[in-house]
Amino acid sequence: MKISLLTATLLLTGSLYASNTHKVSATQEGLVAVQLLDAALKDKLSEKVQEAKMQENTQGLSTMAVCIAAADGIMKKMNSELPTYVKMSIASLDTDKKNNPVDLNIMKKYKKDIKKKTEGAMLISTAKVGDSTRVYKPVVVDNVWLNCHDDKSEVKLGDFKGVLISEISSK
């Protein structure tokens, strides 16, 4: 029986959340959730890039549009399957969406740290926002994200792409 990475990780996370004897902090829950989203994105986006390359000529879809739609779909699926107090999101400095000021500051710091190659560049960060704890994982352009870009001259390996965010509200 073949089980997808996303299904396996969601089952594992579900059993972790269901365990009453194992109490975890909001930061620990956020860390698990953001790592699951990262793993699911890397697993599924590489499949979608191949599909996009085949569809590009016949349907006129850009590879980037397919990747963005796939990433949004993966995030929404995870949000529907995780407990209601856990919310996943993806943020980028180059989106037209209005970013939360806390998210914006963290992304700017990541971008600066990644550019300067400082020790904090790839560390997971946390922030308290109201009664929620947010956990941030930086995303840099790797081969999967590079393959999503139609114009490879716009980005290069190691560039800051954005952040994956898990927000854990008080239960």
Integer angstrom CA distances of residue 32 from 16, 66, 106: 10, 26, 19
Tokens describing residue 6: 């996303």
Q: Is pLDDT larger for residue 7 or for residue 153?
A: 153
- How far is residue 20's CA from residue 93's CA, in Å, rounded to a whole number? 39
Q: What's the pLDDT score for residue 156? A: 87
Tens of pLDDT, residues 78-126: 999 989 999 999 998 876 567 788 999 999 999 999 989 888 888 999 9
Q: Is there a contact between 104 and 79 (Cβ–Cβ < 8 Å)?
A: no
Q: What's the pLDDT score for residue 23? A: 74
Tens of pLDDT, residues 22-70: 677 888 989 989 999 998 888 888 777 766 665 655 566 677 877 888 8
Q: What's the pLDDT score for residue 26? A: 87
Q: Is pLDDT larger for residue 10 or for residue 135?
A: 135
> Which of 110, 155, 171 lies closest to 136 in space, CA to CA?
110
Q: Is there a contact between 83 and 92 (Cβ–Cβ < 8 Å)?
A: no
Four-CA torsion 31, 34, 38, 41, nearest 10 degrees: 160
Q: What's the pLDDT score for residue 111? A: 92
Q: Domain segments of the chain: what residues?
A: 5-169
> Which of 32, 44, 108, 122 lies closest to 76 in space, CA to CA?
44
First to last CA, the chain: 35
Q: What's the pLDDT score for residue 135? A: 96
> Which of 166, 168, 149 lies closest to 157 in space, CA to CA?
149
